[in-house]
């Protein structure tokens, strides 16, 4: 059976953006159908609307983690604290493995391309971008985190 990381990479290679690919890979446990997951994460690809800020794979990981393990009550201080700690831990693991959580840094860009128009997906696109591997890694980091936290319970 395919891991969530493999599923996320397949989703990315089918045309979903990085954030969509990671969030959809967790649809079975977030309670969101694939269409809702895709819509929710649609603006986070390309480092948030192709601005090359926080990596879309990382944003998708944060969304999935927050849906499954985040807090919901505005006065839940302990829940907020635990959620922020979780996000920082997930970000730290991604950064440890990749050196950054910033899209342009992960892509080796000095600055964003200055356009909102995404590149056409082609064989060459997939060869020059690390994004498929990054979405796989983000999904695996979150899956491992969830597994460890289930074991602690």
Q: What is the pLDDT of residue 126?
A: 87
Note the pLDDT tens digit of each residue in 15-54: 999 999 999 999 999 999 999 999 999 999 999 999 999 9
Q: Rounded to two decimals, what is the model's pTM?
A: 0.94
Q: What is the pLDDT of residue 52?
A: 97
Q: What is the pLDDT of residue 138?
A: 98
Note the pLDDT tens digit of each residue in 80-128: 999 999 999 999 999 999 999 999 999 999 988 889 999 899 988 888 8
Residue 74, class by beta-carbon neighbours within 10 Å (0-12 exposed, 13-18 middle, 19+ buried)? exposed
Residue with the two structure tokens 């446990």:
29
What is the band of 58 on the pLDDT scale with cuts at 50, 70, 90?
Answer: very high
Q: What are phi and psi of 50, to 5 degrees?
A: 65, 25
Q: What is the pLDDT of residue 152?
A: 67
Q: What is the pLDDT of residue 2?
A: 57
Q: What is the pLDDT of residue 112?
A: 87
Q: What is the pLDDT of residue 150?
A: 77
Q: Locate 64 and state its tokens.
A: 């999935």
Contact 51, 112 (CB under 8 A): yes
């Amino acid at each position: 059976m395919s891991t969530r990381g493999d599923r996320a990479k397949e989703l990315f290679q089918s045309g979903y953006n990085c954030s969509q690919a990671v969030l959809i890979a967790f649809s079975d446990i977030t309670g969101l159908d694939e269409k809702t997951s895709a819509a929710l994460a649609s603006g986070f690809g390309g480092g948030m609307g192709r601005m090359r800020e926080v990596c879309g794979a990382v944003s998708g990981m944060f969304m999935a983690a927050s849906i499954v393990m985040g807090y919901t009550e505005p006065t839940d201080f302990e829940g907020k604290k635990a959620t922020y700690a979780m996000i920082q831990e997930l970000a730290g693991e991604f950064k440890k493995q990749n050196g950054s959580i910033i899209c342009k840094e992960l892509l080796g860009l000095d600055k964003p391309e200055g356009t909102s128009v995404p590149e056409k997906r082609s064989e060459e696109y997939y060869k020059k971008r690390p994004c498929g591997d990054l979405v796989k890694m983000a999904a695996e980091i979150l899956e491992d985190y969830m597994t460890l936290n289930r074991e602690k319970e």
